[in-house]
Amino acid sequence: MGRSIFVNWTEFAATAPELAEFGQDRINSTRLVTLGTIRADGWPRVSPCEAYVVDGELLLGMMWQSKKALDLLRDPRITVATVQADREPVYGDLKLYGFAVDVPDPGRRQAYADTVFAAISWRPSEPYHLFSVDIARAGFISFGENQKLMRWSVEGGVEFMRHPDAARDEA
């Protein structure tokens, strides 16, 4: 798979501003996302993770040698979803699909640590895992009065789709 079909957060925001703004707002308010990774035995793993957008990159910090970090070092395919805890959601759901990229650069790690400290008055100490997310696709759905169903890809841009509740509402 060529890396050219993936984009960082800044490039995603430039081509899908409504989705990126929603994602940024949810990340800023919860500081959490849900990750989908692939375990060594091929089964999926779903884990919470702190997330921050730093210098145009979606960054995910993880405890050293955590199972989700080891998953990503072995197989970098990832799904990142905004956190949803309500049966009747107040907020929509944004899901990003792409690859996690290890971030060894000391300057980028320092910028991440500074951002975390500014947000929660705590700084990660080495060693820890840090990944940026290269985004290939995204999906968004919201319910209630503000029903929307959207998808985005590098190749196709933003597409508005027929919401699954639309047929029920029209009946």
Q: Which residues contact 76 (CB under 8 A, 6 or more apart)?
A: 99, 100, 101
Share of residues in the chain with pLDDT > 70 (%): 95
Please tell me the distance from the alpha carbon of residue 115 to that of residue 101, in angstroms, as a whole number: 19
pLDDT digits (tens, 9 = 90+) for 115-160: 999 999 999 999 999 999 999 999 999 988 889 999 999 999 999 9
Q: Could you tell me if 150 and 96 are in contact, meaning their C-beta atoms sit under 8 angstroms apart?
A: no
Give the 3-state secondary structure percentages of the chain, helix then strand then coil, rounded to 5.
30, 40, 30
Check residue 25 and report its DSSP letter: H
CA 131 vs CA 15, 104, 140, 150: distances in Å: 22, 9, 23, 26
The CATH code of the domain that includes 34 is 2.30.110.10
Q: Could you tell me if 102 and 78 are in contact, meaning their C-beta atoms sit under 8 angstroms apart?
A: no
List the domain range (segments joined by +) for residue 20.
3-170
pTM of the entire structure? 0.92
Q: How many helices (H) and strands (E) in the chain?
A: 5, 8
pLDDT digits (tens, 9 = 90+) for 36-56: 999 999 999 999 999 999 999
Our count of domains for the chain comes to 1
